[in-house]
Amino acid sequence: MILGGKKSMEFIKPAAKVRGGVRVPHRKNTSECATVDMPSPKTVKIMMSQHIGAPSVPCVKKGDEVKVGTLIGSPAEGLSSPIYSSVSGTVSEVCDAMLSSGQMSKAIVIESDGLMTEEEFTAPTVETKEQLIEAVKNSGIVGLGGAGFPTYVKLSPKTPVDTLVINGAECEPYITADYREILENSDDILRAVYKIKKLLEIKQVIFVVEDNKPKAIDKLLEVVSDKQDTDNSVRVMKVRSMYPRGAEKMTIYAATGRRVPPGKLPADVGCIVMNITTLGSIGRYLENGKPLVSKRLTVDGSAVANPMNVRVPIGTSAADIFEFTGGFKNPPKKIIFGGPMMGFAVPNDQIPITKSSNALLAFDEKTVGKMSSSDCIRCGRCVSACPMSLMPAAIERAQILGDVDELNSLGVRNCMECGSCAFGCPAKRPLVQVMRLAKQIVNKR
C-alpha cells in the first residue's frame, strides 16, 4: 500500500483548537447511498446567477437548439462564470425567475429532447498556471460547497500562498454529497490536487474531514499514500465533528493555526480553501473537458420517502427531483435548498437547482412545528456558540435600538450567518434574522 515507502498512514491532528460551535444532530442517513443518476427532466430552468459576482449574460435565444455542454450564458465583465446547458433540446424561453435565496435572476428554460446528446469535449492542455486558470474558468466551476465563489479567482491569488486546504468537513446535518465524492471520485480529486499543487507551487495540502466520517478518512489516507506525493506533503486531518467546522475561516484555523482577520481573504494568510466536490469537478474537467452541467445532491428530510444521493442536471426543479426520488411519505411543510443550518427555505417547489446546491430537504408539519420565541434570558449560550466570537444577544439589543455605532463596535459585519447562536438559544430568538437586519442598517450608513 505505501508506495513511497516514507508515507505515514496516519491522519494529522488539528493545528489549533477552534472555539465555539454547536453540537448538531448528524442525521447522515444517506452516507451509504451511492449516487444515482437522474435522467433528463422535461424542462430545465438554468439561472444566470449561480455564483458570487456578476450574473452571466444569456447567449442563446428562444428556439435555439442546444446540446449538453453548449454555452448558454457567457461570463460578464469582472467576477463571473460561464454557464452551460445541462440537457439537449430547444430553448423555450429566456425569462426572470426566482433563486432559492429569494433573489431574482435571468433564467434560460430549455425543453429537453430526452436524448442528452453531448457537445464534443476535448481535455484541456494544462501545463502552466495560466492554462490552469483558463481551464478552470472555462469549466464553469464555482465553489460547490454552497458559496458559489468562482474557482478560477481562487487560483490566482494576489498574495503568495503555500497551503491548499481541502474542505471535506461537511458539518451540516443530513448532507453526504461531499462524502460520496470522496468515496466515489477520489481519483478526480487527487488529479486536481496534484495539478494545482504543481502549477501553483503549493507546499502543503491538507484534507480536513470530521471524525464522524471514518470511511472517508480511510479512503483519503489510502489514496494520498501513492507515489505522486514523494515529499509527504499531502496530508489528511481529522477534526472533531462540531458545527460549523466547515466554515472557511474555521477550517483554515484548524488546518494551519492561521487566523484570517476580519475583512481579509484566505490568501492573505497564504491559504487557498476549496470544497472537495469542487476539486473533484476540476479533476473531471481536466480529464475530459466536460464542463459543469450536473450536481450531486442529498435528498432527505422527514417528509421524503426515499432519502438518497442523486446526480441531477443543473436547472432541474425541486418538484422534478422529488418526483424522481419517489416523492413524499408525509406532506412537505418546508423545502430547504442546502442544509438545515444554513440552507434557504423556498416558497414553492418550482425553484431550480444551481451549481452550488448540495442538498434538497423536505420536512413535514411535525418537524417544522411552531417555534415561539420568548425574551432573551441572557444565558450567554449564543456568545459561547459563536465561532466568530461575536455577542449575538448584545447585537440583538443594539439592533432593536438601531444603534449603528454599537453594531459596528460589536463587529456584526463578521457574522457569517451560520446559525449556531440561534440553534442553541433556549429562548428561540430568531438571531440570524436579527444579524441580517443589523447588517442591513450598518451597510446603509
381 is a site residue for other proteins (CB under 8 A):
yes
Q: Which set of grid coordinates corresponds to residue 173?
A: 446535518
* Element containing residue 36 per DSSP (H, E): strand 36-37
Minimum distance of other proteins from residue 45's CB (angstroms): 18
- Exactly one of 393, 407, 438, 442 binds other proteins (CB under 8 A); that residue is 393
Q: Which set of grid coordinates corresponds to residue 270?
A: 497564504
Question: For ligand SF4, what does the binding mask look like between residues 343 and 382, x meaning CB under 6 A?
Answer: ---------------------------------xxxxxxx
Q: Which stretch binds ligand SF4 (CB under 6 A): 125-133, 288-296, 320-328, 416-424?
A: 416-424
- Exactly one of 216, 431, 438, 442 binds ligand SF4 (CB under 6 A); that residue is 431
331 is a site residue for other proteins (CB under 8 A):
yes
Q: At what angle do helices 431-444 and 392-401 cross, to 10 degrees?
A: 50
Torsion of CA 26, 31, 32, 34, to 10 degrees: 160
Query: Which of 418, 426, 429 has the alpha carbon at shortest distance from 171?
Result: 418
Minimum distance of other proteins from residue 271's CB (angstroms): 9
Half-sphere exposure in the Cβ direction for 22 (13 Å, CA): 18
Which of 369, 426 has the CB closer to ligand SF4? 426
Backbone angles phi, psi at 44, to 5 degrees: -125, 150
Q: At what angle do helices 214-224 and 177-199 cross, to 10 degrees?
A: 30
Q: Tell me how crowded residue 73 is: count the other CB atoms within 10 A of its CB.
A: 26
For 316-396, where are the E strands, in sequence order? 332-337, 344-346, 359-364
Strand partners, 274: 166
270 is a site residue for other proteins (CB under 8 A):
yes
Backbone angles phi, psi at 355, to 5 degrees: -55, -40
- The answer to whether 182 and 309 are in contact (CB under 8 A) is no
Q: Tell me how crowded residue 184 is: count the other CB atoms within 10 A of its CB.
A: 15
14 is a site residue for other proteins (CB under 8 A):
no
Out of other proteins, ligand SF4, none, what residue 82 binds, judged by CB under 5 to 8 A for its kind, is: none
Kind of pairing between the strands at 359-364 and 234-239:
unpaired
- The answer to whether 431 and 425 are in contact (CB under 8 A) is yes
End-to-end CA distance of the chain: give it in Å, rounded. Answer: 60
326 is a site residue for other proteins (CB under 8 A):
no
Minimum distance of other proteins from residue 353's CB (angstroms): 17
Q: Which stretch binds ligand SF4 (CB under 6 A): 59-67, 118-126, 140-148, 409-417?
A: 409-417
Backbone angles phi, psi at 205, to 5 degrees: -120, 125
105 Cβ contact list (under 8 Å, min separation 6): 47, 48, 49, 55, 96, 97, 99
24 is a site residue for other proteins (CB under 8 A):
yes
Out of other proteins, ligand SF4, none, what residue 262 binds, judged by CB under 5 to 8 A for its kind, is: other proteins
Which residues 181-220 are close enough to bind other proteins by CB under 8 A? Answer: none
Out of other proteins, ligand SF4, none, what residue 257 binds, judged by CB under 5 to 8 A for its kind, is: other proteins
435 is a site residue for ligand SF4 (CB under 6 A):
yes
Out of other proteins, ligand SF4, none, what residue 59 binds, judged by CB under 5 to 8 A for its kind, is: none
- Exactly one of 269, 353, 360, 438 binds other proteins (CB under 8 A); that residue is 269
Minimum distance of other proteins from residue 427's CB (angstroms): 5
Which of 198, 397 has the CB closer to ligand SF4? 397
Residues that bind ligand SF4 (CB under 6 A): 376-382, 385-386, 388, 390, 392-393, 415-421, 425-427, 429, 431-432, 435
Residues that bind other proteins (CB under 8 A): 16, 22, 24-25, 173, 249, 257-262, 264, 269-270, 331-336, 340-349, 361, 363, 368, 371, 374-381, 383, 387-391, 393-394, 409-411, 414, 417, 419, 422-428, 430, 432-433, 436
